[in-house]
Structure 1
């Protein structure tokens, strides 16, 4: 995946050979798509250290390159830390964070908390049952994943075992039964029909929203600040949000500041934090966090020594500030550079597992939509080669770390057996390359997803402007028989234009006609065809 964001990591002194008076060279690994940005931004000379950019396929491969000492460091999201923890935890160390200037001293990006009114009658976690809840939004960390994960771990949140419902619906159903009313905006499904159906089935999940019918962004009672407003102004009993917004709302100082920059919207003495053990603490003091999301970070091999770590931390701080210049705006974004952020060095490097456990975030990443037992549903994907198996396992691990549920697993069988495995219930799905379609028995199977290309990278059939409809129905095709996509486009076209009385053209029977009046071309080549 582009795994959406860009990545970097750090490694050991055994490859950093330099003598006194020489500056060391560190290798940063970035996804291939980011390499031009990295090369441009890291090209500036420095008296501290030189940084050389090398490309991996994606951040997963960068993790492997760092582990193998082919790269020294990379930048990561918390989900990448989880993958590193599962691979070889002791082979990686977090040595710097990318933090906001507003919260330079905050160890984690944000802390998920539960805010309640004083004298609310909520004196334990079980007292939350039947109360009115205010959430930042569906699927979000502090407003959804963290509270649901923790309530499940305390056996307060029960999932319906009815397998006729999707796992997502079962989770929403459990939430609607636990709280009497809520404001939980967002898309419950990317399919709009399913989204509407779920909101109609569980309307109490939207009852506290400013617009219960729409139940989507923007809503006055959604988001970090909106969930607090929902509690303070709209009859909520508990709000799930993060600490910095609580402090802003009540006009309290942030970080090491001695005074607040915001006016209080309510009296902080009327509210409390509800802790995971059921105790409560005042909002004017230190919050009791249920879990915290770590900052984006730089990690490297666990063998790096203190001197090398200090040099690299200094060099990265300089790089980060230089990259904020206007000339670098496009590339800076690709390299996780933000005007509001800066690099903060860690005094001591920390292993990914220790970092995630300290944040109480590992179990949030690992959360199960169902009951968390070994009986949780999985989607078994059948593959038919060792290469496909390795790719499937990487996709499985990355998908799990990024909250794609139900999780899936990979099973290896011969090509001729995969389709039968699905029919027999040993597997749920198979991934088929177009060139191998004729090797599978698709009776009683149906396609569910397919690979798509950008609009400017499609294969189309073209003809002269004066070509008649009858000619289009009968004319031969010219296509590149050595290009699988071109062949598939030709097959699809021939299949679409055949009559119900005509047999389908088999892949091994299709023939290219160099003089064909119809031509299969890539959409990128259309301008050349016009010029010709």
Structure 2
């Protein structure tokens, strides 16, 4: 290479390559929360300024930010202590650079103590038997997880592991046998029926409440200050409470004095007691602050940027960065030096211990069956997220090739729970002897509503006009298949016997993917082509002109027109929703044939009632933590949201909540639930069978007459 060329290359590097390196921005992983906490669209554009050294990467949830940092797709983000426990369990390497404090002088977000009345003569944990316990209760887990809520009892009450009781009941019974009475208001479990049963069985744990019969979140003694009122009103002997609330309650700081501190003491973890107004009070467990965590290789540079932020900064991009980081007016505290997760938690008394209590042996585990690497990965993150919030039994993730194999795994006890789509529910009930544990409930427009669809301009006024029409079904033995059969039977258009053959005669040349290939049913598979399976395939069969009517889910029409989820076997549709028309069965019948939940979790039909209670409570608790109604400012992990930007992974994105029943009483009134349609399937009776039945009825009548 001559000198001129070398010079040109050097100039190219200088002017094009080096600026790109010098000006590379650090990537902040941003998670939008609810309502006022949707910050990305407001503040991220400010970081596009030329002088800014930071840019936004928008993530789905905080666990997504951990994954992005681990993959070097992001450099730093805001995390809670629980997020850091999950990161540590998953062996993800991040460093902590700064804390986000509400009060600069407080080392921890809060500390939890045990306050005892001196009248109770409690000098150590061994004096707790037959004492009265004031607990803050359950139902406000935003900053008070069940792990911290239960830490005192986990540290002082001998555990019970009766295999004939649920994990929750074992814990409840153990406390019930130690304490004479207590107020533990709020939901003990998420299942309202089971919650009521437990409180009726162990009433002494509600006896101290202002309203023992209800023992609810509305109780006077529920909540952070509730447990202290329970103590100072004379109802209880010992209170589990936050230290800052204790100081305020007893007038040690400003805020009002409810009682004199000299009548109370602190019970310490080392089985000693100290005065309530001690300058160095003994605490059982602390909650660390939320933090900035970063990639190891960029920790120092990012710490320098974060440490320079303050609320008086006039720089628009720095001000916007601070707003993106904080959930309230905070003080940024620099850690010197930066710390690993393990080092950071080493200073947080009791926090790691609270997150590592061993359970019963052998442990109880719920094995979730997944059908892809993506589902299995999401399940693994759900497992870790559940663990740091104290969800028991533990979760495990078992991978199979497809849903059918998952149902087989359940049947042979190789897995415990599988989420089954509506089209395979009948097979699960009939072929694999399964039953439903819970349902994914959604808005009406998101349910699987089976309808008959034709092209605009086709003259079908009802199902009676479909005789001889070329039909396109999503799949054999699915929702639309059985719904069409039941509808035709109710209208008297086919009989109750040999229904497959009846449909083969009723319709013209059609396509029913998966139908048995025998001569009598040839009419139902002769027009099938590649790509005609599933709801979108059935609509392609209709759109291409091969079929006259498609029996599909109503919401698949919109997906077909928009091209979302299209199969590579056929091109995207050029049609609009106006090009399709839903055919109502008749003037005296709803316009749909049936509706089904988006999915339902199925389990073995011989599962014990005990196991069902334990498992259902776990998923209802997961729903409250990671579902659409999460209580945090930003989602830690989204069960019913995209995973790695893929839709409907493990659960459906449109799921609103999980229920043990498919409908919500008094709010969900859509007619023709698919589950009921399956239960009410008509019985086929041939002529000879009807004769035998009639003869039996006559003989029974004669017997009754002569017996009188």
Contact 1:93 1:350 (C-alpha < 8 Å) held by counterparts? yes
- Give deviations 1:424-446, integer Å, cap 9, x for gaps: 33322234456777987743211
Tell me, in whole angstroms, the C-alpha distance in 1 between the residues paired with 2:413 and 2:112. 41
Across the aligned residues of Structure 1 and Structure 2, the Cα RMSD in angstroms comes to 4.4
Deviation, structure 1 residue 63: 1.0
Matched, 1:364 2:354: yes
Match of 1:521 among 533, 550, 554: 554
- Give deviations 1:348-378, integer Å, cap 9, x for gaps: 322222333432222323446xxx2441211
Structure number with the bigger relative contact order (C-alpha 8 A, sep ≥ 6) is 1
Deviation, structure 1 residue 231: 0.5
Match of 2:85 among 71, 82, 86: 82
Tell me, in whole angstroms, the C-alpha distance in 2 between the residues paired with 1:314 and 1:24. 19
1:159 corresponds to:
160
Deviation, structure 1 residue 479: 13
SS in 1 for 2:160: coil
Deviation, structure 1 residue 338: 4.0
Tell me, in whole angstroms, the C-alpha distance in 2 between the residues paired with 1:31 and 1:240. 33
Match of 1:44 among 43, 46, 57: 46
Deviation, structure 1 residue 38: 1.9
- Give deviations 1:303-352, integer Å, cap 9, x for gaps: 335454122233486799989x9xx9xx97xx574445444333432222
Contact 1:110 1:292 (C-alpha < 8 Å) held by counterparts? yes
1:4 corresponds to:
none
Where in structure 2 are the equivalents of 1:217-236 lying within 5 Å? 217-236=217-236
Matched, 1:382 2:373: no
Larger CA Rg, structure 1 vs 2: 2
- Give deviations 1:124-170, integer Å, cap 9, x for gaps: 1121122100111136576963364454355x32214133x221122
SS in 2 for 1:224: coil
Where in structure 2 are the equivalents of 1:323-472 lying within 5 Å? 337-359=326-348, 360-367=350-357, 372-413=359-400, 415=402, 418-433=406-421, 442-460=431-449
1:97 corresponds to:
99
* CA separation of 1:31 and 1:308: change in aligned 2, threshold 3 A: closer
Which shifted more, 339-348 or 472-481? 472-481
* CA separation of 1:401 and 1:322: change in aligned 2, threshold 3 A: farther
Contact 2:108 2:289 (C-alpha < 8 Å) held by counterparts? yes
SS in 1 for 2:347: helix
Matched, 1:291 2:293: no
Tell me, in whole angstroms, the C-alpha distance in 1 between the residues paired with 2:46 and 2:406. 53
Tell me, in whole angstroms, the C-alpha distance in 1 between the residues paired with 2:200 and 2:114. 27
Tell me, in whole angstroms, the C-alpha distance in 2 between the residues paired with 1:292 and 1:78. 11
Contact 1:95 1:345 (C-alpha < 8 Å) held by counterparts? yes
Tell me, in whole angstroms, the C-alpha distance in 1 between the residues paired with 2:275 and 2:406. 59
1:5 corresponds to:
none
Tell me, in whole angstroms, the C-alpha distance in 2 between the residues paired with 1:227 and 1:479. 69
Tell me, in whole angstroms, the C-alpha distance in 2 between the residues paired with 1:341 and 1:321. 18
Normalising by structure 2, what TM-score?
A: 0.59
Deviation, structure 1 residue 300: 0.9
SS in 1 for 2:236: coil
SS in 2 for 1:88: coil
1:314 corresponds to:
308
SS in 1 for 2:308: helix
Match of 1:508 among 508, 514, 523: 514
SS in 1 for 2:225: helix
SS in 2 for 1:304: helix
1:175 corresponds to:
175
Matched, 1:71 2:64: no
Q: Which runs of 5+ in 2 are unaligned?
A: 1-16, 454-459, 491-495, 504-511, 516-523, 525-537, 560-575, 582-708
SS in 2 for 1:106: coil
Report how many aligned residue pairs link the two structures: 486
* CA separation of 1:18 and 1:428: change in aligned 2, threshold 3 A: same
Normalising by structure 1, what TM-score?
A: 0.77
* CA separation of 1:455 and 1:362: change in aligned 2, threshold 3 A: farther
Contact 1:208 1:234 (C-alpha < 8 Å) held by counterparts? no
* CA separation of 1:524 and 1:439: change in aligned 2, threshold 3 A: closer
- Give deviations 1:381-437, integer Å, cap 9, x for gaps: 233444443332222222222322111112344556543432333322234456777
* CA separation of 1:304 and 1:516: change in aligned 2, threshold 3 A: closer
Tell me, in whole angstroms, the C-alpha distance in 1 between the residues paired with 2:145 and 2:385. 23
2:671 corresponds to:
none
Contact 2:408 2:432 (C-alpha < 8 Å) held by counterparts? no
* CA separation of 1:126 and 1:348: change in aligned 2, threshold 3 A: same
